[in-house]
């Protein structure tokens, strides 16, 4: 069997408390300093487990780069970081920066139980989760074609990783939002010539 292209998808570390109080989407918010210190064992576990060799990919947002750098500091050999803009988080348009409590009054349909808005809701000036699946799915196909048979470690975002898994499984946006993708959680996908295989979802370092 032809060797697949393997993707190890990691959600970035926990963001700062002030950012968590709002819808931050593609805003370039800081990581939580206390969490970076407290989770050193998790970074060490990731550094020991992640595949070598591998190409490393981050998004344009600094929280993904800083997460990769924390893994390098914990023992993984430092790598060059390629930037893939199409694996960025869902853009929430005019709602970015809005306190969570103010969102419900602006929705055109009920929120998803596990996401601030439904999978087909498009914020003004932003994109729906349905659109993120199309965007991120196309990026994954492009990366798989450019790096056939290789292994890639991708530090990305919760919404984007759900979208990538949805693309691989061929499921809709509301189904995708039922997936748990926690900070520093690892999901592994493989792209074969015949299609995608999801190997694992949301494995937590050290468990």
Cα–Cα dist 174/128, whole Å:
11
Q: Which CA distances in Å does 172 have to 10, 11, 133?
A: 22, 21, 9
Per-residue pLDDT of the chain (207 residues; tens, 9 = 90+): 689 999 999 999 999 999 999 999 999 999 999 999 999 999 999 999 999 999 999 999 999 999 999 999 999 999 999 999 999 999 999 999 999 999 999 999 999 999 999 999 999 999 999 999 999 999 999 999 999 999 999 999 999 999 999 999 999 999 999 999 999 999 999 999 999 999 999 999 876
Q: What is the reported pTM?
A: 0.96
Which of 155, 157, 202 lies closest to 178, judged by CA?
A: 202
Q: How many domains does the chain have?
A: 1
Residue whose pair of structure tokens reads 């926990």 in the numeric block: 14
CATH number of the domain to which 96 belongs: 3.40.50.1240
Using an 8 Å Cβ cutoff, are 42 and 184 in contact? Answer: yes
| Per-residue confidence (pLDDT) for residue 1, from 0 to 100 | 62
Please give the residue range of the domain that contains residue 27.
Answer: 5-203
Relative orientation angle of helices 40-49 and 62-73, to the nearest 10 degrees = 80
| Per-residue confidence (pLDDT) for residue 117, from 0 to 100 | 95
Cα–Cα dist 206/190, whole Å:
23
| Per-residue confidence (pLDDT) for residue 37, from 0 to 100 | 95
């Amino acid at each position: 069997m032809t060797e697949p292209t393997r993707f190890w998808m990691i959600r970035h570390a926990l963001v700062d408390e002030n950012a968590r109080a709002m819808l931050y989407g593609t805003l370039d918010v800081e990581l939580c300093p206390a969490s970076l210190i407290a989770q050193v064992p998790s970074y060490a576990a990731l550094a020991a487990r992640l595949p070598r060799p591998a190409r490393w990919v981050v998004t344009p947002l600094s929280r993904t780069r800083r997460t990769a750098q924390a893994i390098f500091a914990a023992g993984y050999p430092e790598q060059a970081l390629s930037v893939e803009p199409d694996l960025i988080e869902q853009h929430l348009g005019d709602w970015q920066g809005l306190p969570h409590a103010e969102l419900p009054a602006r929705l055109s349909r009920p929120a998803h139980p596990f996401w601030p808005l439904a999978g087909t809701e498009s914020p003004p000036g932003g994109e729906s989760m349905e659109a993120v699946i199309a965007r991120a799915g196309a990026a994954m196909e492009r990366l798989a074609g450019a790096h056939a048979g290789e292994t890639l470690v991708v530090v990305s975002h919760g919404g984007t990783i759900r979208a990538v898994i949805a693309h691989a499984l061929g499921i809709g946006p509301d189904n995708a939002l039922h997936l748990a993708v926690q900070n520093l959680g690892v999901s592994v996908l493989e792209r074969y010539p015949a299609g995608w295989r999801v190997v694992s979802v949301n494995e937590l370092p050290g468990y």
